[in-house]
Chain A
Amino acid sequence: MAEDIKVIVFKLATEEYGIEVDKVQTIERLMPITRVPKTYNFIKGVINLRGVVIPVIDLRGRFGLEEAEHTDQTRIIIVVVNEMEVGFIVDSANDVIDLNRESIDTPPEVVGGIKAKYLDGVAKIGEDRLLIMLNLSEVLNKNEIVQLESFEG
């Protein structure tokens, strides 16, 4: 018996992604971000979330997508993974859905250009809606970032 999970749905470019709701602390509107020098481009800086300083990542940048202008719809999703609090800048986030674990398929090798290892799977909802489930520990994996850095020089 596969159980139902609640998933926060957000948009990045043309794709829809999902994060399990228990990993999400809050979803915030865009707020002033303090740039942190000497770090990766996709780390946009730090924000003050009710007295706690939290780094924010542009998820587009993290996935190697082209960065976009921030709009009214832009949201920061604060997630907590392995005691790390991190904010993800996403294009929009406005849905919570119930998902049966059984409906999540293992990810295909390449989805929309994003490395498959960031993905937990792909869920089909309704007729033609695909939801990409994120593997947060991989997205926040710092070892891989270090490699990235040494690649760049």
Chain B
Amino acid sequence: MDMNQYLSMFIDESNDHLQSLNENMMGLEANPDDLSIVQVIFRSAHTLKGMAATMGFEDLASLTHQMENVLDLVRNGKLVMQDFIFDTLFKSLDALEAMVQDITAGGEGKADVSAIVSSLQAIVRGEVPSAQGEGAAPAAAAPKETEAPALLDEFQLSVLEQSIQEGLQVLFIQVSLRKDCQLRAVRAYMVFELLERFGEVVKSFPSVQDIEQEKFDYSFSLYYISQKTAEEMQTLIMGVSEIDNVTSVALDVETLSQLGKAEVAAAVEEAPPVPARENIPPANETPAAAPKREEAKKAPAKSAGAPSRTIRVDIDRLDVLMNLLSELLIDRVRLEQHASDIQSGELTETVEHMSRVSADLQNIVMKLRMVPVDTVFNRFPRMVRDLAKSLDKKVDLIITGAETELDRTVVDEIGDPLVHLLRNALDHGVESVSDRIAAGKPETGSIHLRAFHSGNHVFIEIQDDGAGISREKVLKSAINKGIVTAEQAAAMSDNEAHQLLFAAGFSTAEVISDISGRGVGLDVVKAKISSLGGNVTIYSTPGKGTTFSVQLPLTLSIIAAMLVRLGSEKYAIPLSSIVETGIVKRSQIRSVHGAKMLEFRGSHIPIVSLSTIFNVPDYDDSDEEETEIVVIRKGDKLVALTVQDFIGQNEIVIKNLGKYLPSIQGISGGTILGDGQVALIIDANAFIK
């Protein structure tokens, strides 16, 4: 089977499972006694294992399997969670994540995880380092208690059930070899060969590999599907020499569902106990756990809230949809024209209806690109946990507004800057426990991560309740690094001083830790956010904490713009750079040192003729008595542009002008208007030096 077509689905789903594992693990860390969370984790791990095995990623599957073994003990109350176990499980998750990433990058998802695997196995054996006391005892006892060979996972169970329904015999067979048997593996092989001639071995215990390597004592048991009856099989197997005893029990659906209650348990009693050995994987599921399965099935839905009803769509396809839509809009305009030429009432009505529908369609398509910031935020709790641990600080991360939606392109880009700001808040913001107690604060610091809409923007704020930014420290450091002079520093407002944090090469950390010393400064964060059309501001109160506020445009590709006309040409001016529009008389325009200036709110700002700058062929405003102006700004500088007419405000889709065109001064891109024509988007920044 060609797995490639499922690969992207596998990757997506694996990432989802890893994410949910991470989240739930954190939840469990906060509530170690909540076994329902363990059920959810177990389910996720189990599904992940199944998917990985199906796709042939053996390392991934086997590591998940080891995790499952640990989790299984936990959910059956045989192992108490403790820090060491959490750390190992988190390490396993990281390893899994790395593997999935490798697969994403086209690799085979192989990794050397033997260290983690042996830690996990040690945990299963009860060799928890710190746990000489209560945690270890039940854990150590676990493997012995699980000697009952009821080790079917759900998949195998359903195979067996189905076989019974199809009228086949499902047998539980236990074979013991004679104690004087010389070549146990060979004997076992003969038994297996015999079995495989008449049916199928679903699961054996110990595993086939272990048996082949003679990693068993004198007995093994297995689940078997065949057309032969239990008695027939028993006789057949007894026919192999050096067999001491064979028990063969036919199972029915009921027995299977209760697994191991009556007959199987009885069969086990008769048979010599299967010794628990280190290299034998412990039972996946003890008989007592079977009813819990049911709970496990329901648990995720309950604890994870209503699952979001979504499908994944390739963003390229959305772009295609968008383009098709704009074609449709062009045709619509043509139809409208024809309809008005033909003057047919019915046609006009139909076209009008179509216009409305296509406008709605356009809206929807635009919205399709919006995703909740949740997809970025959800990796932060884990990161903050790890960081806090390594910094030996106590921190609560409080996330609000994760459902706030942003354009996919922005969401993809915003992750790294946020990671950096969070690191910054943890490393520089929140104080150590002792400092916090000394300052009379609760020993656990808090970092608020919130997202919300405001106007045409989305704000993401990272607020800590740490020590705040020390103006003196910042200025001292800036002077030392030659970023500002002492005189400049003295004259700076607090706000200006805070902005210095964004200067290139600036870092207040006295000791470079592995958190802040990654060679990325806040200047990079600022640059990234600016490139997204956003902005960062810092608010800080000494002793109370610091807030980084990131302002982002809702989307990169759709903006609100004012359409203006110059002769037969239309241009779009982004609303975000427009301060005001208005009309001025010729008499209001003054010449200052040869440059045209306009008095605007008490100061003089330059006034520029757009038609002159762009050499518009069929419009010239030089002899207009009154002229429309658009006042645009860059930072706090203003310029008035003269235009012929305002067409109106519109949401436009930004398109680039193609690779061939050199960057054109004053033009930042193009957009396709409702009539199918391209209008150029004016880059306000270019008009202000």
Chain A residues in the interface with B (C-beta under 8 A): 32, 34-39, 43, 45-48, 50-55, 83-86, 140, 142, 145
Assess the B666–A48 pair: CB atoms within 8 A. no
Assess the A84–B323 pair: CB atoms within 8 A. no
Given contacts A48-B326, A52-B323, contact A86 B658 (CB under 8 A): yes
Assess the A53–B655 pair: CB atoms within 8 A. yes
Assess the A86–B678 pair: CB atoms within 8 A. no
> Is B672 on the interface with A (CB-CB < 8 A)?
yes
Q: Which single residue of chain A is at the shortest CB-CB distance from B326?
A: A51
Which of B325, B327, B661 makes the CB contact (< 8 A) with A55?
Answer: B661
> Is B667 on the interface with A (CB-CB < 8 A)?
yes
Assess the B662–A142 pair: CB atoms within 8 A. yes
Q: Could you mark each residue 648-667 of chain B with 1 if its beta carbon is under 8 Å from any beta carbon of chain A, else 0?
A: 00000001111111101111
Interchain CA distance A38-B324 in the complex, whole Å: 31
Interface residues on B, range: 20 to 34
Interchain CA distance A145-B616 in the complex, whole Å: 23
Q: Which single residue of chain B is at the shortest CB-CB distance from A39?
A: B664
Interchain CA distance A54-B678 in the complex, whole Å: 10
> Is B117 on the interface with A (CB-CB < 8 A)?
no
Query: Which of A34, A35, A51, A84 counts the most chain B CB atoms within 10 A?
Result: A51
Assess the B324–A51 pair: CB atoms within 8 A. yes
Q: Which single residue of chain A is at the shortest CB-CB distance from B666?
A: A38
Q: Which single residue of chain B is at the shortest CB-CB distance from A31?
A: B676
Assess the B660–A55 pair: CB atoms within 8 A. yes
Which of A32, A46, A83 makes the CB contact (< 8 A) with B657?
Answer: A46
> Is B600 on the interface with A (CB-CB < 8 A)?
no
Given contacts A34-B680, A84-B658, contact A50 B664 (CB under 8 A): no
Expressed in whole angstroms, the minimum distance between the Cβ of A24 and any Cβ of chain B is 16
Closest 9 CB pairs of A and B: A51-B323, A37-B614, A34-B678, A51-B326, A84-B659, A53-B655, A53-B670, A84-B660, A86-B660
Which of A37, A38, A39, A85 makes the CB contact (< 8 A) with B658?
Answer: A85
User: Which residues of A sit under 8 angstroms from B485, Cβ to Cβ?
Assistant: none
Assess the B679–A38 pair: CB atoms within 8 A. no
> Is B340 on the interface with A (CB-CB < 8 A)?
no
Assess the A34–B569 pair: CB atoms within 8 A. yes
Assess the B655–A37 pair: CB atoms within 8 A. no
> Is B165 on the interface with A (CB-CB < 8 A)?
no
User: Which residues of A sit under 8 angstroms from B655, Cβ to Cβ?
Assistant: 52-53
Q: Which single residue of chain A is at the shortest CB-CB distance from B671?
A: A53
User: Which residues of A sit under 8 angstroms from B614, Cβ to Cβ?
Assistant: 37-38
User: Which residues of A sit under 8 angstroms from B434, Cβ to Cβ?
Assistant: none
Assess the B680–A36 pair: CB atoms within 8 A. yes
Given contacts A37-B664, A48-B326, contact A32 B677 (CB under 8 A): yes
**7 new A-B pairs (CB below 8 Å) besides A39-B664, A145-B662?**
A36-B667, A37-B614, A38-B615, A38-B665, A38-B667, A46-B658, A48-B676
User: Which residues of B sit under 8 angstroms from A50, Cβ to Cβ?
Assistant: 323-324, 326-327
Which of A35, A36, A83 makes the CB contact (< 8 A) with B661?
Answer: A36
User: Which residues of B sit under 8 angstroms from A85, Cβ to Cβ?
Assistant: 658-660
Give the number of A-B contacts (CB < 8 Å). Answer: 86
Expressed in whole angstroms, the minimum distance between the Cβ of B491 and any Cβ of chain A is 40
User: Which residues of B sit under 8 angstroms from A43, Cβ to Cβ?
Assistant: 661
Q: Which single residue of chain B is at the shortest CB-CB distance from A57?
A: B660
> Is B164 on the interface with A (CB-CB < 8 A)?
no
Assess the A46–B670 pair: CB atoms within 8 A. yes
Expressed in whole angstroms, the minimum distance between the Cβ of A25 and any Cβ of chain B is 13
> Is B265 on the interface with A (CB-CB < 8 A)?
no
User: Which residues of A sit under 8 angstroms from B323, Cβ to Cβ?
Assistant: 50-52
Assess the A37–B657 pair: CB atoms within 8 A. no
Expressed in whole angstroms, the minimum distance between the Cβ of A94 and any Cβ of chain B is 25
User: Which residues of B sit under 8 angstroms from A86, Cβ to Cβ?
Assistant: 658, 660
Assess the B322–A53 pair: CB atoms within 8 A. no
User: Which residues of B sit under 8 angstroms from A35, Cβ to Cβ?
Assistant: 569, 617
Assess the B662–A34 pair: CB atoms within 8 A. no
Assess the B667–A83 pair: CB atoms within 8 A. no
Interchain CA distance A72-B325 in the complex, whole Å: 28
> Is B208 on the interface with A (CB-CB < 8 A)?
no
List, sorted by A's number, 21 A–B pairs whose CB atoms are closer than 8 Å: A32-B676, A34-B679, A34-B680, A37-B613, A37-B616, A37-B664, A38-B614, A38-B664, A38-B666, A46-B657, A46-B658, A47-B678, A48-B676, A50-B326, A50-B327, A51-B322, A52-B323, A52-B655, A84-B659, A86-B658, A86-B660
Interchain CA distance A140-B661 in the complex, whole Å: 10
Q: Which single residue of chain A is at the shortest CB-CB distance from B566?
A: A37
Interchain CA distance A52-B667 in the complex, whole Å: 17
> Is B330 on the interface with A (CB-CB < 8 A)?
yes
User: Which residues of A sit under 8 angstroms from B657, Cβ to Cβ?
Assistant: 36, 46, 53, 55
Interchain CA distance A84-B662 in the complex, whole Å: 12
Assess the B678–A48 pair: CB atoms within 8 A. yes
User: Which residues of B sit under 8 angstroms from A39, Cβ to Cβ?
Assistant: 661-662, 664
User: Which residues of B sit under 8 angstroms from A38, Cβ to Cβ?
Assistant: 614-615, 664-667
Q: Could you mark each residue 311-334 of chain B with 1 if its beta carbon is under 8 Å from any beta carbon of chain A, else 0?
A: 000000000001111110010000
Q: Which single residue of chain A is at the shortest CB-CB distance from B568?
A: A35
User: Which residues of B sit under 8 angstroms from A48, Cβ to Cβ?
Assistant: 326, 330, 672, 676-678
User: Which residues of B sit under 8 angstroms from A34, Cβ to Cβ?
Assistant: 569, 670, 677-680
User: Which residues of A sit under 8 angstroms from B326, Cβ to Cβ?
Assistant: 48, 50-51
Expressed in whole angstroms, the minimum distance between the Cβ of A36 and any Cβ of chain B is 6
Q: Which single residue of chain A is at the shortest CB-CB distance from B615?
A: A37
Given contacts A53-B655, A53-B670, contact A140 B660 (CB under 8 A): yes
Q: Which single residue of chain B is at the shortest CB-CB distance from A51?
A: B323
Interchain CA distance A145-B325 in the complex, whole Å: 36
User: Which residues of A sit under 8 angstroms from B325, Cβ to Cβ?
Assistant: 51
